[in-house]
Amino acid sequence: MRQVCRDDNVGNVETVVGEVEDPLFPVAGLEVVVMVYAIHDFARPVAFLGNLKKYLKPGGTVVVLDQDPDASGDRHFLTRERLVALFAESGYELARDERILETDLLLVFRPS
């Protein structure tokens, strides 16, 4: 990622190596955190999501784009119901459920 940014003269990207239970973002007050095809592979998603809240500003959101196993048949991914349950267990509520993609889920969560 760093090399691609250097090669393309992109200066507004900062790479961060987080931990299993904490993203270790260098700043707080983020408006939006976007997770694309990732949450299904987290070792401890409830702990991670709980720690993620400290980086969000009040009213901040977490957007999840992940494959929908009910549409694709790929059971490697988490169902909508499982994602909602994980986020609820971590102290979030579902704010939006966008049904605009054929085989993917697009869910927006907000700390409750």
Give the pLDDT band (50/70/90) at residue 13.
confident
Terminus-to-terminus CA distance in the chain, angstroms? 33
CB 2 within 8 A of CB 15: yes
Q: Give the residue among 44, 37, 50, 58 at the shortest CA–CA distance from 92.
A: 50
- Say if residue 82's pLDDT is above 90: yes
Instruction: Kindly state which CATH superfamily the domain 19-111 is placed in.
Output: Vaccinia Virus protein VP39 (3.40.50.150)
Per-position DSSP letters for 77-110, written without gaps between them: SPPHHHHHHHHHHTTEEEEEEE---SSEEEEEEE
Residue ranges per structural domain of the chain? 19-111
On the question of pLDDT at 8 being above 90, the answer is: yes
**Gap between the Cα atoms of 98 and 67, Å rounded:** 13
